[in-house]
Structure 1
Amino acid sequence: MAMMLDLKYALRQLYKSPKFTVMTLGVLLGGLSIALFTFSFLYTTIYKPLPLPEGETALRLAVYNDGEFDMLTANEFKAVKEGVSLFSEMGIYRDQDVRMSKGEAGRNFFGAAVQARMFEFSRTKPLAGRTFTALDSLPGAPAVAVISEEMWADEFNRDPQLLGQAIELNGVQTEVVGIMPQGYRFPHIARIWLPLQDTVFDAQAPISEQFNVYIRLKEGIEATHAEREITQVLRSLQLQNQQSYGMEAVQKQARIMTFQMAQTGGEGATVFLFLSAISWVVLLLACINVGNLLLARILEKQKETAIRNALGASSGRLISQLMWEGILITVLGTFLSVCLVGALLDYVNVGLRSWLPGAGLFWWQYGLDGATLMMALVYMLGTLFMAVFLPAWRSTRQDINATLRDGTRGAQSRKAGRLSRILVTTQVFLVALLMLIGSVSALIANKFVNIDLGDDYQNVMSTRYSTPERTYPSAQQRLNLTYALMDEVQSYSAVTHVSVAQWLGPRKVHFGHQEYNQEQTGTEIDTISMIGDFQTTGVRLLEGRLFNRADTMDKRKVVIISDSMAQRYWPGESALEQHFVMEIEGHREQVYVVGVVSNLMNPKSLFGRLDSADEIYLSGSQFVQTLQKLSYRILPGTTNAEQIFYRAMYNTAPNLDVKQTVMPAIKNRDKMRESMRFISHLTFATGAFALALAVIGIYGLTANAVAQRTHEIGIRRAVGARDRTIIALFMRQGATQLVIGLGLALLLFSVIAMGFQSFTEGLFPVSAYFVMACLVSIALTLVVLLAVYMPISRAIKLEPSSALRYE
């Protein structure tokens, strides 16, 4: 009965104070929604079990080579499968672009080349027909494929006679043997599945291809135990390969992780913690503000509470009465937050379908699931504790006699004033820190949005392909195929330039004129294999010549270097005909510089200037690669530009293994810029919301403090105190809280800035951090002082007689 009376009283109070109710509910709704959406989005992306039967036991096996995330080669997979008996299921796959042709027209689909038992691993049976058997992977076996239900519906109008018919995939007549159920896109975003040929295991270690490895551990086997055994096998194999083939020494470490974590390169936990921490800070700010607003109402009743306590009311009953307003607001805010986040997650699903090819990975199914609802409950309970229970509990932990003796009517108690100041200081600290970190994030995002990459991909089409080694076993055969394909593409009148390149990553370089200590084994410089015209991607020749077909494998090895490298190692002289030693494919090769080109942005220089890192271009005619990226520049306005490559491919090598759909090269760059622009906007929005929270919270606390000291203000004015003296008194108190909170935030930010500056090797000048700190300090100072000035300016407008009678 008493609880019902308290509840009715709280409802009546909220109804009588609509501004307070709406403001408190809005603050809480914003903080809860940001925290809950961030959790749900990251949890689904990184941690949520795969939406498959027994999806929680489906794992990926990866390897770290010298600390860098990588995939296993077929050679390594074979050794692990034979040397480790801890798996109940194990296999390999690779994502593959599949071209389906219908006469002169065609369309590309995301696909996967998989082993026969991959479908059994996913615990999913076909909707119609069959999946693969071991016979489908044998050399010379008839070409077969399994397609998705979506493809069956979209491309074949659910033709019931499709099974057993042949369709042209990658230039090969292929029999459709099965159709998978709706929504099935395992292992990533596949819509067509092809059998992975057993011949991939025949290649020797130096040229063995890399694959994704899926596993399921035997019951009772710990992942850490399996990792140790696999690591031993991989390191033993690596030593054998070093002795047999002269392969480069690499420190290997096996890692077993979920599909989701593997897709992030093993960095998912870091991303989750960083973004979650930001959302938690926002939620904490919201809780502080809600607590501030509720505390202000509680403080108004502090003497009433003391009197009721003195008359025998229990602390539990008093806390309950004081908490009901907060409980109602928190429960309603959580409910509205869940509804809003559910709508936002549905929007994300729709947005992914239009923004990302293939609508993203198959486990990206965002929505209100059990984990999200459970976290909403956790956030609600946390908010009830921090924003509702603590203020109510704190107000009842008072000395009744001291409270009844403290001050006069309407005066603010000393304890209440001290608590109010601590809350304002804490809020200033959190808002300042969030805004400072947000400023750095926005600055980084802006850097990437407007970054000069040193290339030009406008009007350039690109694709990736792999030359089948079983069809072209020798390096010269693969090179001849590359030349034939490039010539065929170049034969089209709409094509102006063609090139084939492959990023090889850092390679160790030894300069004869440079001394190395015992710990150094050379200088690592990013290396690119290149055939064709550099103008295809906008890189300019500054000195010397480009590669040509006379640079054959039996001639002296030649390289082209970036201008930054020429200036760094041969300042004041020509770099042409300079020579040095490179470690390539396990061998040391002496190479000669024949050209210098403009600088290119690479992974090492993403956090710096164009000339902060160097590039070496190897002649692709002398060091033949299997995996290649082909790019061709077209005339503006060319229609059906992607068909140029496919026609050239079918005229030269119909069985070419295309890894990536032909698309405008600028599209990938635009996606990166769009992502960074989105991060920039999100950062500013979060900072703006945090600033809004600061305005509401600080204003609410200050207004309450001023209201409780209105009687004091009236006395000061009655005895002759000037208005500006009274204003200065309150402003000094606000400034003290500002200086403490902002000072602590700037101190912590200086430590963060020094670490970031060291990590990015001076991406931004030190003055940039100083400017950010100044701008945030000025903005927050104006907000805090304005929040202090507004209520005091209203209070001094009261006549002294009215202020003295103020309750």
Structure 2
Amino acid sequence: MSTFIDIKYAFRLLFKSPKFTAMTLAVLIGGLSISLFTFSFLYSTMYKDLPLPNGDTMLSVNAEFNGDFQLLTSYEFSMIKEQQTVFSEFGIYDKKDIRLSFEDSGKNVYGTYVDEGFLNFSGTKAVLGRTLQIADMAAGASPVAVISTQIWMNDFSSNKNVIGMTIIANDIVTEIVGVMPQGYRFPGSSHIWLPIKPSMIKNMANNSNHVYLYGRIKPGMSKAKAEQTLSQQINTIYQQSATQYNLEKGNKSVRLWSFPFAQMGGEGTIMFTFLNVIAGMILLLACINVGNLLLARSIERQKETAIRAALGASNNRLVSQLMWEGIIITVLGGVLSVLLVGAALHYTDIILHSWNVQTLVFWWHWGMDKETLLMAVAFTLVTIFLSSFLPAWRSANQDINTTLRDGTRGAQGKKAGRLSRFLVTTQVFLVAILMLVGAMSGYISHKLVNLETGDNYTNVMKARLSLPENKYPEPQQQIAFYQSLIADVKSHPRVVDVVMNNWLGDFPLTLERFDYTDENSKPSIDTLSVIGKTDAIGVDLVDGRFFTHQDKEGNRKVAMISQSMASRYWPGESVIGKSFQLKINDKNEKLFIVGVVTNRMNPKSMLGKLDSADEIYTSGLQFMTAYQNLYYLIEGELINTEEIFYQALYKIDRNIDLFYAVQPAEKNRGMMRDVMQLTSNITFGTGFFALMLALVGIYGLTANSVAQRTHEVGIRRAVGATDKSIVNMFLKQGAKQLIKGLGLALVIFALMSFGFNKMSEGLFPTYLYIVLAITVVIGLSAIVMLAIYAPTQRAVKMEPSSALRYE
């Protein structure tokens, strides 16, 4: 009965203060919604089980080499396939881009080369026909494929007689033997499944490609034990290979991850933790603000509470009376947050799938689920504890005698004053950290959005391909292939020019005029191989010449360098004809400069000026690699221009697999800018919300504190204190909390900046951290001091006689 009376009393108080109720709900809903949405979105992205039969037992088999994520090789797979004892199901697959041709046009789809057990491993049967069998994998077997429901519907008009029909995949006539169910795109975004080629499973350690592996652990064996057993086997194999073929020294271990976690390259935990910590700080800030508002209400009733205690009310009854107001607001805020987050997740799912349905993995669906509801309950309980129980417990557990005699009418008690100052300091600290981290993230995003790249990919198509080394083992064979490909692409009437390049590495530079103490003292320069003229992609010639067909193996080795490198090492001189040494693949090569080209963005200059990093271009005919990027400049619109490349490729060798679809070269950069713009907007939006929370909270605390000291203000004015001196007194007291909160935040930010600067190898200049810190300090100080000044100024305008009578 007493609890029911307390609840009715709490409702009556809330209805009597609609502005207070609305403001408290708004703060609470904002903090809860941000935290809940962040958790749900990231959890669904990284940790949810696959929506397949026994999806929780399906594992991706990966490796770590010297602490870095890595795929296992086909050689390692073949060595452990028969001797492994940890998997009940174990196999291999490889993801590739597949070109489907239709007369004079075509399209690219994500495809997977799989072994005979792959589709059965996913526990899914074909809705039409069959899945792939071991006979389909044999050398010389007729080409067959299993297609997705989407291809069946779009390209075969849902023809139920599709089994036995043919489709041209990578210029090979392939028989359709099965159709998978609607929505099935395992292992990610696949729309076609082909038998894995025997050539993909090579048995030489020094000539083996990286592949994807899958497995399901035997019943009764733990994941940790399976990882330990496999790691021992794989590391033994690698050490033998490293000794025999002089491979890189190090230790290799196996990591068994869920497919969603493996999709993030094993780095999901860092992102998940970091973003949830940020969201948790927003929630904590909201809890503090709600707690502040409720604490202010309880402080107003502090003497009432003390009198009740003096009259014999139990501590539990007092806590219950004070808590119910907060419980009602928190539960209502939690329910409204769940509804808001559910709607936000639903629309996020619609937007992302309509934006990029082809590349999103099939398990990425966002919406209200069991995990999100459980986390909502957890967040709500934490909020009740922080913003309802603690203020109520603090008010109920007071020294009755001290409270009844502490201060005069309308005065603020000592304990209440200390608590108020502590909460202001805490709020300043949290907001400062959020703003400093947000400012850094926002700057990075802004920098990437407005990146000056130094090149021009307008009307340029890009293809990335790698020649199989077992088929094209010699550089001359690779050169002949690529020269033929370039000639065929360039012969098309719409193609203006073709250029091919590949990043070779970051190599030590030796100049005769400089003295070097050791190899580490030599500068390392980004080096690319090039065939063709780089002005096709906007890297223009400044001096000298481009490479020609004469710059080939057997002739003098040549190089082009960026303007930044010419200015850095030969200021005011002509560099044409000068030479330098470059250690390429552990071999010192003497190169003669034949040209200078404009600066362009590379990884070292991504967040700096274009002239902050140098580049060297070598002739691709002298330094050939199997992997290449091919760009071709198109005249007119880029409609069906990918077919130009495919027709040229299939004319030479129809068995070459592409890593990615041929697409406009600007596409990935445009997507990166869109993602960075979205990140920047979210960062600034979150920071702005945190700042508003701080403003509301600090203003509320200060207003309550000043209101409780109105009687004191009246006395000071009555004895002759000026308005200015009273305002300055409050500002000085507020400045102490500001300095404490900002000081602690700056210390933590300095440590974070030092760690980030070291990790990014000095990517940002030191002054940037200082400028960001000063900007946040000035901005936050102005906001906090304004939140203190406004209620103080209002209090000193009150007539002394009214202030002395203030209750």
TM-score (norm 2): 0.93
Is this contact kept in 1: 2:10–2:325, CA < 8 A? yes
Aligned equivalents of 1:61, 1:527: Cα separation in 2: 34
Letter of the 2:718 counterpart: A
> Bigger shift: 525-534 or 190-199?
525-534
- 1:151-198: CA deviation from partner (whole Å, max 9, x where unpaired): 222332211111111122221211111111111111111111111112
Letter of the 2:531 counterpart: I
In structure 2, the residue matched to 1:590 is: 589
Letter of the 1:56 counterpart: D
Letter of the 1:118 counterpart: F
Aligned equivalents of 1:85, 1:542: Cα separation in 2: 62
In structure 1, the residue matched to 2:60 is: 60
Q: Residue 731 in 1 paired to residue 731 in 2?
A: yes
Q: Residue 28 in 1 paired to residue 32 in 2?
A: no
1:744 to 1:336, Cα distance in 2 relative to 1, 3 A: same
- 1:663-711: CA deviation from partner (whole Å, max 9, x where unpaired): 2111110111111111111111111111100111011111111222222
1:369 to 1:742, Cα distance in 2 relative to 1, 3 A: same
1:776 to 1:524, Cα distance in 2 relative to 1, 3 A: closer
In structure 2, the residue matched to 1:391 is: 391
For residues 739-754 of structure 1, the aligned pairs below 5 Å read 739-754=739-754
Is this contact kept in 2: 1:97–1:660, CA < 8 A? yes
In structure 2, the residue matched to 1:147 is: 147
Letter of the 1:503 counterpart: W
Q: Residue 186 in 1 paired to residue 159 in 2?
A: no
Is this contact kept in 1: 2:116–2:133, CA < 8 A? yes
1:531 to 1:221, Cα distance in 2 relative to 1, 3 A: farther
> Bigger shift: 507-516 or 92-101?
507-516
Is this contact kept in 1: 2:557–2:592, CA < 8 A? no
Q: C-alpha displacement at 1:500, in angstroms?
A: 2.5
In structure 1, the residue matched to 2:436 is: 436
Secondary structure, counterpart of 1:210 in structure 2: coil
Aligned equivalents of 2:684, 2:788: Cα separation in 1: 25
Aligned equivalents of 1:224, 1:505: Cα separation in 2: 37
Aligned equivalents of 1:563, 1:66: Cα separation in 2: 37
Is this contact kept in 1: 2:527–2:618, CA < 8 A? yes
Aligned equivalents of 1:138, 1:516: Cα separation in 2: 57
> Bigger shift: 105-114 or 589-598?
589-598
- 1:576-604: CA deviation from partner (whole Å, max 9, x where unpaired): 463536453xx746353444544443334
Letter of the 1:654 counterpart: R
Aligned equivalents of 1:676, 1:252: Cα separation in 2: 34
Secondary structure, counterpart of 1:69 in structure 2: strand
For residues 327-366 of structure 1, the aligned pairs below 5 Å read 327-356=327-356, 358-366=358-366
In structure 2, the residue matched to 1:775 is: 775
Aligned equivalents of 2:207, 2:739: Cα separation in 1: 63
In structure 2, the residue matched to 1:400 is: 400
Secondary structure, counterpart of 1:173 in structure 2: strand
Q: C-alpha displacement at 1:623, in angstroms?
A: 4.5
Aligned equivalents of 2:265, 2:760: Cα separation in 1: 20
> Bigger shift: 705-714 or 247-256?
247-256
Aligned equivalents of 1:285, 1:796: Cα separation in 2: 30
For residues 325-724 of structure 1, the aligned pairs below 5 Å read 325-356=325-356, 358-468=358-468, 475-506=475-506, 525-553=525-553, 558-564=558-564, 574=575, 576=577, 578=579, 580=581, 582-584=583-585, 588=587, 590-595=589-594, 596-724=596-724
In structure 1, the residue matched to 2:112 is: 112
Letter of the 1:445 counterpart: S
In structure 1, the residue matched to 2:101 is: 101
Aligned equivalents of 1:420, 1:188: Cα separation in 2: 53
Aligned equivalents of 1:694, 1:666: Cα separation in 2: 42
1:488 to 1:520, Cα distance in 2 relative to 1, 3 A: same
In structure 1, the residue matched to 2:755 is: 755
> Bigger shift: 476-485 or 171-180?
476-485
Aligned equivalents of 2:178, 2:514: Cα separation in 1: 62
Aligned equivalents of 1:526, 1:650: Cα separation in 2: 33
- 1:56-109: CA deviation from partner (whole Å, max 9, x where unpaired): 222222233444322222223222325543222222222222222222222221
Aligned equivalents of 1:783, 1:455: Cα separation in 2: 43
Q: C-alpha displacement at 1:560, in angstroms?
A: 4.4
In structure 1, the residue matched to 2:791 is: 791
Is this contact kept in 2: 1:557–1:589, CA < 8 A? no
Q: C-alpha displacement at 1:741, in angstroms?
A: 1.5
Aligned equivalents of 1:492, 1:135: Cα separation in 2: 41
Q: Residue 159 in 1 paired to residue 159 in 2?
A: yes
1:512 to 1:537, Cα distance in 2 relative to 1, 3 A: same
Secondary structure, counterpart of 1:658 in structure 2: coil
> Bigger shift: 355-364 or 101-110?
355-364
Letter of the 1:348 counterpart: T
Aligned equivalents of 2:450, 2:403: Cα separation in 1: 60
Aligned equivalents of 1:44, 1:766: Cα separation in 2: 38
Is this contact kept in 1: 2:753–2:769, CA < 8 A? yes
Aligned equivalents of 2:496, 2:510: Cα separation in 1: 37
1:510 to 1:70, Cα distance in 2 relative to 1, 3 A: farther
Aligned equivalents of 2:174, 2:355: Cα separation in 1: 31
Aligned equivalents of 2:796, 2:151: Cα separation in 1: 74
Aligned equivalents of 2:33, 2:440: Cα separation in 1: 24
Q: How many residues align?
A: 805
- 1:751-781: CA deviation from partner (whole Å, max 9, x where unpaired): 3333333444444433333332222222222
Is this contact kept in 2: 1:73–1:210, CA < 8 A? yes
> Bigger shift: 91-100 or 369-378?
91-100
Secondary structure, counterpart of 1:781 in structure 2: helix
Q: C-alpha displacement at 1:132, in angstroms?
A: 0.7
| CA root-mean-square deviation | 2.8
1:519 to 1:631, Cα distance in 2 relative to 1, 3 A: closer
Is this contact kept in 2: 1:608–1:761, CA < 8 A? no
In structure 1, the residue matched to 2:5 is: 5
In structure 2, the residue matched to 1:320 is: 320
Aligned equivalents of 2:465, 2:648: Cα separation in 1: 13
> Bigger shift: 414-423 or 514-523?
514-523
Is this contact kept in 2: 1:31–1:283, CA < 8 A? yes
Aligned equivalents of 1:227, 1:543: Cα separation in 2: 57
Letter of the 1:163 counterpart: I
Q: C-alpha displacement at 1:283, in angstroms?
A: 0.7
1:241 to 1:541, Cα distance in 2 relative to 1, 3 A: farther
1:86 to 1:591, Cα distance in 2 relative to 1, 3 A: farther
Is this contact kept in 1: 2:91–2:214, CA < 8 A? yes
1:359 to 1:592, Cα distance in 2 relative to 1, 3 A: closer
In structure 1, the residue matched to 2:168 is: 168
1:304 to 1:443, Cα distance in 2 relative to 1, 3 A: same
Letter of the 1:580 counterpart: Q
Q: C-alpha displacement at 1:384, in angstroms?
A: 0.6
Is this contact kept in 2: 1:511–1:581, CA < 8 A? no
Q: C-alpha displacement at 1:376, in angstroms?
A: 0.9
Is this contact kept in 2: 1:559–1:591, CA < 8 A? no
Secondary structure, counterpart of 1:266 in structure 2: coil
Letter of the 2:751 counterpart: V
Unmatched segments (≥5 aa) in structure 1:
none
Is this contact kept in 2: 1:97–1:658, CA < 8 A? yes
Aligned equivalents of 2:206, 2:555: Cα separation in 1: 22
In structure 1, the residue matched to 2:272 is: 272
Q: C-alpha displacement at 1:111, in angstroms?
A: 1.5
Q: Residue 138 in 1 paired to residue 138 in 2?
A: yes
Letter of the 1:80 counterpart: I
Q: Percent identity?
A: 51
Is this contact kept in 1: 2:111–2:192, CA < 8 A? yes
Aligned equivalents of 2:723, 2:739: Cα separation in 1: 24
For residues 10-21 of structure 1, the aligned pairs below 5 Å read 10-21=10-21
1:470 to 1:433, Cα distance in 2 relative to 1, 3 A: closer
Q: C-alpha displacement at 1:724, in angstroms?
A: 2.5
Is this contact kept in 1: 2:105–2:640, CA < 8 A? no
